[in-house]
Amino acid sequence: MPILQKPDFENCRQAFQAIDADSSGQLDQTELQKAFSLLQMNLTEQQIKNIVEIVDYDGSGEMSCDEFIHFVYICKNADPKDLKTILFLAADFDCAGTIDKKKLVQIFQKMNVKLSEEQIGDLFDAVADLNTRTISYELFVELMDRLMQ
């Protein structure tokens, strides 16, 4: 995976405010399509819906500014067909390029993975960097490959 491109936070906030036509603090599907057009990110309506499901932390079906910035981060760094990369980036809420155990548990729960929190923690411990207690993209792919066996 290439070096992750962090979103331009200020540009994203300005785009969010410009697109949030009703000043609700949330972007609906129509507003999102306009936003990604403005940011020159060509995504289909279905691709937007699929990614919204991943980053919609509160389950509202709409996006807050923080969710929108995270969404831009995912879109800038992943092919919509590359599930492993999308899942890693979805867990990487803070755009740091790594995920911790809590983030891994959250993304697995969102994916309805049939593992307990303890089992997910054990998987994390098996691949995590011992110094940082995080998982890089490469380690995440290794973990996903193990799960798919």
In contact, 127 and 142? CB cutoff 8 Å:
yes
Q: For residue 26, what are the contacts with CB-CB under 8 A and spacing of at least 6?
A: 20, 60, 62, 63, 64
Note whether residue 64 is domain-resident. yes
HSE toward the beta carbon, residue 53, CA cutoff 13 A: 11
What is the C-alpha separation between 37 and 123, in angstroms, rounded?
39
Whether residues 76 and 102 fall in one domain:
no
Domain match, 73 and 111 both: no
Task: Select from 24, 74, 39, 79 the least CA-distant residue to 53.
Answer: 74
The CATH code of the domain that includes 39 is 1.10.238.10
Nearest to 32 by CA among 71, 60, 5: 71
**Residue 99 backbone phi and psi in degrees, to 5:** -130, 150
Residue 138 lies in a domain: yes
Residues 10 and 70 in one domain: yes
pLDDT in tens, the chain (149 residues): 567 888 899 999 998 898 898 999 999 888 888 777 877 877 788 877 877 777 887 788 888 999 989 888 888 888 877 888 888 998 898 888 899 999 898 888 877 888 888 998 898 998 898 899 999 988 888 888 877 77
Q: What is the pLDDT of residues 71-110, one digit of tens each?
A: 888 888 888 778 888 889 988 988 888 999 998 988 888 7
Number of domains in the chain: 2
CA–CA gap between residue 108 and residue 105 (Å, rounded): 5
Q: Is the pTM of this model over 0.85?
A: no
| Structural domain boundaries, residue 4 | 1-80
CB 43 within 8 A of CB 75: yes
Which runs of E-coded beta strand occur in 9-104? 98-99
**Within a domain: 92:** no
